Structure formats: C-alpha cells, structure tokens
Amino acid sequence: MRRSICHCEPSHALAGETATWKFVYTTANQLPKGTKIRFDLDSGGKSVDWQIPSANLKEKSNVIWAEIDESKPIAATESANSKPGIHSFEFIVSSELKPGDQLSIFIGSPDKDPRKGNCCQKIVQRRRPFSLYIDPKGKGDYKEHEVFHFDVRGGELKTLRVIAPSLVARNKRFDVIVRFEDIYGNLTSNAPEGTLIDLSYEHLRENLNWKLFVPETGFIALPNLYFNEPGIYKIQLKNLHTKQIFLSPPIKCVPEGSLNLFWGTLHGESERFNSSTEIESFLRYMRDDRALQFIATSCFDSEEETSAETWKVINQQIAEFNEDDRFVAMLGFQWQGEPSEEGLRHFIYSKDAKPILRRKDTKNNSLKKIFKTNNPKEMISIPSFTMGKPTCYNFFDHNTEFERVVEIYNAWGSSECTAKEKNARPIQGSGKQTISEAAEGSIVKALNNGCRFGFVAGGYDDRGPYAGLLEAKQTRYSPGLTAILAKEHTRSSLCEALQARSCYATTGEKIILGLQIAGFHMGSEVDTKNRPGLEFNRHIVGYAIGVESLAEVALIRNGKLFKTLSANGKEIDFQIDDSDLLSSIALDPKEDHPPFAYYYLKVTQADGHIAWSSPIWIDLTSKPAGQIIKRIKKKSVSI
C-alpha cells in the first residue's frame, strides 16, 4: 500500500530564525476538488512559540497559504482545534489531486523575502511535529492525520552559563557544569571553528588553567573542583574568540558547614511548557535548562484545569523525577478559598501518591476541614499572593502547624507591604481587569500581629486568578527563586528545612544571605528565659553576597528599618549590637503569646533585584529588665 509523503523545505532551522517555510504533501490517494485540509501549527502564540501567521493574502509578511503545483494561492481560514489555545488553519482544495500530486503549504512572505517571513519557535526541538488532517468528503470530519517533522536547532553561541553550588565547604569537592547557550538560552554548539573558552577563578591554582572547546552537546561537566581557602569566588569564563567574559553567580566557601544551599521554585509555571499537560517536559526543562535543584507542582485544584487523569500523570512523573542529590520533585497544587478569610493556598506534600483536594468536594471546601483531616508532617500550606485583592488573606486564622512559610513575592508583585510603605515591587496594573493590592494581606502587618513564618518566592503564573493578567496590563516582574538551607539534597531534608523556616526568597537572582542572632539562624525562635542576656543586647551577625553591586542592605526590626548597612560593592559582612532593652521595643503579645521582637535582612541590588531572609524571633519570657531596674532604684531610695 502506497503511503503519502510529507517533507519540509528547509528541514531544519535555528531557534528564532525568520524565513518562509514550505511543507510539501505528496498524496498517495486521489483527493477530489473540495477536499478539506487542516494544518495544525501546534503553537499557542506565546513569545517562545512558533509565530502565528495571518490568513489574509493581502498581507506582505507572515502569511499562510497553500499551492497546488505552483498554481494560484489557496487562502486559509483559521479553524478550531481540539486543543484549546492551539492555532489551526483550514484549506479547501481547489482542484483534483491525483496520486503523486503535491500540495504545498507556505508560511512566510509571498515575495520570499526572509526579512518579512515567519519566525520559528525559540525553543530547540528535534522532530518538531506539524499535523495535517484530510477529509476527502469536505465536511470537516477529520480522523487520521499525516505528520511533518522539523528540527529546531540552537542558534549562534551568545552566552556561557556556569552552574555551580552557592555554598561549599573548604576542600570539599564539587562539580560544575558549563552551558553554551544561544540568545534564547538553548544549548548550542554553533560557534566559529576553533573557538576556545578560558576558565579561571580567584586564587587560581597552577594546575587549574583550562582551555575548553565548544562541545557538540552544548555543555561540559567539570568534576572535582574545590577551594582550599574560605572566601567568595566567581568562576570566570572568557570566550577567546569574542573576548567576552562571563561570571558564575557567587560561591561562598566556608571553613566548615553542616548546611547546604539549594535553589528552586515551589510555585510557578513555565512559559515554554504547561506544567499540567506537559509535566514531563516541564520537569526536564526546570532540571536541565533552568538548573534548579528542587521544584513543586502548583496546578489548580479545579477539574477543568487538572482532571483526575492529569493528576495521575503528575503523580507518576513527580515520583519518577525525584532523585536524591540531583533534583528534588514535590507534589503540590493550589487551592483558592474565600478572599480575606482563606485566600490562595499552595499545598505541598512530602510524600508521593497523594490526592488533589478539590474545593467543590464537601470534605475539602474549607481550610479548617483540610487542616483537620491531614498531617502537618506530610503537608505544608503556603499562603500565596496575600495582598492581591481576589486572593487576599488577612492571617486572622493563621495555622502555625501547617503554615510555616509564606510567599512574600512572585512575578506579579510582593506582598511584604503596601506601595505607600515603599514596596519596590507592588501589586499593580493599568488595565480594567488588573489586580490591585489589599493592605489587609500585608505580611509585615501579619508579623507584627504575632504570625510566624519564613519567606519563600513564587515564579510566573498564568493560571487561576492570574489568568489574563498579562493581556490586562498587570505589572509583571521577574520570576522569583526560593533558597532552602538544608542538611541534604533529599525531599525529606528540604521539607524539614521548610518546616524549620530555614529558607529565604529572592526576586530571581542567586543572592546569598546569612543572618544569626546569638548563634541562632534565620527562622529560629529564641526566648529570654533560656537566653536572659538577649533582654539587654542582641548580637546580630550576617552577610550578603550579590550577583551585582548591592544598593541597600537593610536590617528590619519589627517591620521597620532598624539599620542601613554599608556594602562594599557586591558583598557585605557585618556584626552589630541592638542594645535597646527588649521590653522597650517588644511588640504587644497576641492572645497568649509573650511580648516579642523579630528581625530580618532585606537586600536590594543596584539592578533592582531583592532578597529577603526569613525572620528570627526573640520572645520576652523572663521578667522584663525594666521592672527589675525600677525595683532596684526604689529600694536604693528607701535605704
């Protein structure tokens, strides 16, 4: 039996290349005049997707049309696709096609001008499919389909990216990966022949003077590097052909350490892959291309977005991708309750094969029911976007067992405080359908009222309450990153660290932070009963290491600026004492809580990127020193 032939001219392109693309279909069967043909572009029209063409033949650029043996162009009409958001085009065959005849579909410039052509997708993909459906009866009843395959390759080498740990111990060996990337972040080997890369770093050892070739794979793994002196390092790569220099994010080498620093995203979507329907591609992209060390899924609980079958596949892929010492994958979902009272929650499980809790189900239609029927050791609840009006949460029913961390930032803004309180990345927009800030969801306000949680950051999201924000002209910022300080690179260790609030948030850059009070790390709660000296003085030690120069390093006490610290370029180490009596600065207790004070570090780079350390709390559980001093003075006067 003869088979139809599908081929592309050209058969491949570089990511982001603009040209006129030709898809040639040689039929093996007779197709009568009036046959309907549907061509699936398999593109959602995102900035990284294949550019959507126009069906208007009067246009001079980026047009789609068909031809039979170079005859008069056949106009296309955009048609509905079985996949929502995916663009398809339909043609009606203008003359009979006999076996061996060719039908060609063009996308680009009718004048064949490459400058007016169609833009290829910006994502590397081998054998990218374009589907062709044929209905000889002309009724639009499409069944079997033919497939064109097209290779999208990496473009010209533009960037060298170093993937290395942020925190290492002296003389402890670690691995580094060098990625050779095009302008869109794809791996590439497209560089002039003989291009060499010089690798070096501060305190260079004589035996580390390497020259790297550009590999065909687009990446090189460099094992067993180590630093023999504590300090701050940046690995430098110099392209000897272009003379460009690229630096890694900072690496802090400590004399010894029991904690490691891991970077990832708990809540976030990818513009490249749908994290629900393309979960495998999404996880692979986050692990390999984004080089994250952990991820949690964050689909919404609705049946429309996450069907039972989709949730089953997500469960399977999370279990498969979770790998100790390489990539921690966690199962999670988002649940939206009543504004103010419940807000938006991101639930994350510490174990596999867990159910999605749908709000429409009676047993899961309130937070109180969810908290009552689940174990806080196996689930963490993260209040998210708490200052967005439709997702606002006032923290009145804050659950200390489940809600150990809060999302202080995601790509749609920061919930730290209001714009009037100098929020550098406020929730705002200029369109009618945008989301404005709700002051009652302020995290600083919640902290002042006695709530206790660490800080994490979310990424970009276009689902649920975030759907349509980009089109509505909502202000969009960079996707955030979460840093977790944990003993081991395992799911259990990372979940324990989140429970201990051993984490911090950034707006997307790998800024390294450290904060201690009397030896207690971020996320700790300390009381004056066990440490009575804290009533009189609190010795605060910290550091910040930026990717770019530090514009402001602020120590926040009880929600207000306590000290502004002077940074030396991209780094700062500091030791200060807060000698104010704790009783004189302590905030009023909430319910049965003792008076308390809290501190956190907020760092802003010159380029506007921000990092927030999780707070440290000091409880005044001993008799206030002020009262003791008054009694002593009273006794001395009577004597």
Cα dihedral: 133, 134, 135, 136 (round 10):
180
The predicted structure's pLDDT at residue 625 = 55
β-strands 294-296, 328-330 pairing:
parallel
67 pLDDT band, cuts 50/70/90, is: very high
The pLDDT value recorded for residue 110 is: 86
Model confidence pLDDT, tens digit, residues 372-410: 999 999 999 999 999 999 999 999 999 999 999 999 999
Helix (H, G, I), strand (E, B) or coil at 315: helix
How confident is the model over 597-609, as a mean pLDDT? 97
The DSSP element (H or E) to which 490 belongs, if any, is: none
- What six digits make up the tokens of 637? 């006067």
Backbone dihedral region for residue 42 (phi beyond 0: left; psi -120 to 50: alpha; all else: beta): left
Count the Cβ atoms, other than its own, within 10 Å of residue 635: 9
Q: Which helix (H) or strand (E) holds 146?
A: strand 145-153
* Pairwise CA distance, residues 425 & 412, whole Å: 8
Mean pLDDT of 513-529: 96
Under a CB-based contact definition with an 8 Å cutoff, are residues 344 and 383 in contact? Answer: yes
- Enter the pTM of the model: 0.90
Task: Tell me the sheet residues that pair with 78.
Answer: 89
Over residues 605-619, the mean pLDDT reads 97
**For residue range 247-280, what is the model confidence (pLDDT) as tens digits?**
999 999 999 878 999 999 999 999 888 899 999 9
Q: What is the pLDDT of the chain when averaged over all its residues?
A: 92
Q: What is the pLDDT of residues 318-354, one digit of tens each?
A: 999 999 999 999 999 999 999 999 999 999 999 999 9
> Which of 527, 544, 538, 560 has its CA nearest to residue 606?
544
Q: Which pLDDT band, with edges at 50, 70 and 90, does 111 fall under?
A: confident
DSSP character at residue 132: E
Query: Which residues lie closer than 8 Å to 525 by C-beta, 6 or more apart?
Result: 452, 616, 617, 619
Alpha helices in 213-366 (DSSP H): 279-284, 308-321
Tell me which of 114 and 161 has the higher pLDDT: 161
The CA distance from 365 to 359, in Å, is 4
DSSP string, 582-620: HHHHPBPP-TTPPPEEEEEEEEEETTS-EEEEPPEEEE-
Residues composing the chain: 639
Q: Residue 205: what pLDDT?
A: 54
The answer to whether residues 175 and 221 touch, using CB atoms and an 8 Å cutoff, is yes
Q: How many CB atoms lie within 10 A of CB 428?
A: 15
- Is 269 in contact with 298 (CB distance < 8 Å)? yes
Q: What is the mean pLDDT of residues 213-242?
A: 92
Indicate the pLDDT class of residue 470, thresholds 50, 70 and 90.
confident
Rg (CA), the chain: 29
Burial 46-74 (b: 16+ CB within 10 A, else e): bebbbbbbbbeeeeebbbbbbbbeeeeeb
Round to whole Å and give the CA distance between 582 and 595. Answer: 9
Q: Are 27 and 100 in contact (CB under 8 A)?
A: yes
Nearest Cα residue to 612 out of 620, 622, 604: 604
Query: Considering the chain, what percentage of its residues have pLDDT values greater than 90?
Result: 81
**Are β-strands 167-169 and 251-254 bridged in parallel, bridged antiparallel, or unpaired?**
parallel
- CA end-to-end distance (rounded Å), the chain: 116
For 16-44, what is each residue's pLDDT tens digit? 999 999 999 999 888 999 999 999 998 88
pLDDT of residue 631: 44
Q: Which residue segments constitute the domains of the chain, with CATH numbers given?
A: 5-153 (2.60.40.1510), 159-257 (2.60.40.1930), 270-508 (3.20.20), 511-639 (2.60.40.10)
CA gap 23, 94 in Å, rounded: 18
What integer pLDDT is reported at residue 637 of this predicted model? 41
